[in-house]
A and B are shown apart, each in its own frame.
Chain A
Amino acid sequence: MVPIQYYLLLSASVFCIGLFGVLTRNNALLFLMSVELMLTGANINLVAFSAQTGTLTGQVFSLFVIALAAAEVAIGVGIVLALVRNFEGVDVTRATTMRW
């Protein structure tokens, strides 16, 4: 069996790649993809720990997380559509009608 540390390392790298994308991209759709990566990192953890402890709790939870990620994208794409209609593009930095 692959030691648990490797899974943790993998999940942490996937999470950090996602976080990097969130912090550096201006494109709303790339932002959504980056958040998906972060959630995937969490799912890797859940499944790996679940296998290690021999319980199914984590695996079931990861299914819930996947379903919720899909729901979140559905809402997110709706908001991105409204963004495109009002601000002519998917650049999140363009929406600055309110001061910071």
Chain B
Amino acid sequence: MALPEWLALAPTIVLGAAAFALFAIDAADPRAENGALLAGTATLGALAALAFAGWALIAGTGTEEPITLFAGQLVVDGLSSFFTVIVASVAALVTVSSYDYLRGRGDQAEFYSLVMLATIGMSLMAAANSLVTVFLALELSSLPSYALVASLKRNRGSVEAGLKYFLIGALSSAILVYGISLVYGVAGGLRLDAVAEGVATTDLTGVLGVGVLMVLGGFAFKTASVPFHFWAPEAYEGAPAPISALLSSASKAAGFVVTFRVFTTAFGLDLAGVDWVLAFQILAVATMTLGNLAAATQETVKRMLAYSSVGQAGYVLIGLAALGGGQNAGVLGASMLHLLVYGFMNTGAFLFVALAEHWEVGRTFEDYNGLGTRAPVACVAMTVFMFSLAGIPLGGGFFSKLFLFAEAVGAGFWWLAAVGVLNSVISVYFYLRVVRAMWIEEPGENLGRIGEYPVGIYTAVIAAAVVTVALLPGMFLVDGVASDAAAHLF
């Protein structure tokens, strides 16, 4: 029995259905404070999307022969399913934990539906096969995110974060669309295969080079890489913590998948006029170094995590910076694996911060002193996240980083791997600072308020920790899936 082709988009469709169901619930009962129903609907949608995307990967939907839809505007292949799995998992963790975070607020339905809409945008980014759909999907994930970051309307930090995120986002989307217009002028088409055909024969290399660099700038915003990273610490610090988790994990992964697809299929490795691999090498080194050095100087945990997420983006950029060394599928696959593990460990870390905000223990490292004595289970989970982010073999982050550096060395870019290892050493300092505060320091006065244990945030944090640990042996299962998906790009 042959299923209709559009069913390949099932993950995106169920996310859309969840968003509309949330709108319907909100329309029926606008002042609804029934958090369980709303959070449940959103989580169910995200889990269904996760199940469909995971099934597509296991059943091989599009992994051998990509399924193109809507006259080639969208494509479903291993890469898109892989990244839909990441964004749907992060969305599920975020909606589960928001159940406690939003308790008592009157705008919960809007919050969850915006989360769902942003997630649709991210899953479409994974499937976008034309510069039009790339731009539209990117905006569909950005616009709800601006509103979500500023959703604590009476909190000055949240509004400031939303404003800065919006201003830089609007600027970089204008730069992206101008870059796309220049590429269109040179290539004469907007579908990625048409662009690839057009740029192969052109002699307008100057205009093309400017266009490609502007497109790169637009994507750097979405992935929070240097030089468009400076919104990230502000937005992640000011936003509600579950939204920081969504932005720093899912949105970043989605930004990387469009970067992978556009640069490998449309622009190609032998693009005349601009050496974009060199540009990514510079960006990777700058992003890693800046993110980790800045994270080491922070006093608040959330802001440290924000800068660490910039640094982690730098590691992922190695996947693009080490292309052309004969190991293309390997390095790109390792980047994808790192984004998969990162999706769980970083989301978990931000959700732990959400837990700390829920208990009002404070924001600095010192405020976390002795937390391990009062909430040992959550602190064990946080310890797993910190070790995994640092690359210590207690979570999947160890193998994904190892693969990434090993593939980079194999491709002949030993200096990229060396910079990565140096940065990892720096990062051990600030990740372990959290661990030390939780387990070794004496508890302070501020922990007296820890009375109740919010079930939603706990579930999400523990689920994220379990997956992070499970990915340590599981890495060898998903390794093949990732490198197969990456191999189809070349």
Contact = CB atoms under 8 A, between A and B. Distances in A.
Do A and B truly interact?
yes
Contacts of B150: 78-79, 82
A28 B163 contact: yes
Contacts of B166: 75-76, 79
Contacts, number: 126
A90 to B, nearest CB: 10
B290 to A, nearest CB: 14
Nearest to B157: A97
Contact of A75 (B146, B178, B184, B238): B146
Contacts of A35: 170-171, 174
Interface residues of B, number: 41
Contact of B156 (A31, A45, A97): A97
A95 B159 CA distance: 8
A82 B185 contact: no
Nearest to A38: B174
Contacts of B233: 98
Interface size class of A (residues with CB under 8 A): 35 or more
Interface in B147-189: 147, 150, 153-154, 156-157, 159-164, 166-167, 170-171, 173-175, 177-178, 180-182, 184-185, 188-189
* Most chain A beta-carbon contacts within 10 A, residue among B170, B173, B174, B207: B174
Given A57-B190, A98-B160, A42 B147 contact: no
Given A46-B181, A87-B156, A68 B136 contact: yes
Nearest to B174: A38
Nearest to B237: A98
Interface in A37-90: 38-39, 41-43, 45-46, 48-49, 52-53, 55, 57-58, 60-61, 64-65, 68, 71-72, 75-76, 78-80, 82-83, 85-87
A71 B139 contact: yes
Nearest to B161: A98
Contacts of B170: 31-32, 35, 72, 76
Q: Top 7 nearest A-B pairs by Cβ distance?
A: A45-B181, A38-B174, A49-B185, A95-B160, A42-B178, A42-B177, A42-B181
30 contacts: A8-B185, A8-B207, A11-B178, A15-B178, A18-B174, A22-B171, A35-B171, A35-B174, A41-B178, A42-B174, A42-B178, A57-B132, A57-B184, A58-B184, A61-B132, A64-B136, A68-B136, A71-B139, A75-B166, A78-B147, A79-B162, A82-B153, A82-B159, A82-B163, A87-B160, A97-B157, A98-B157, A98-B160, A98-B237, A98-B238
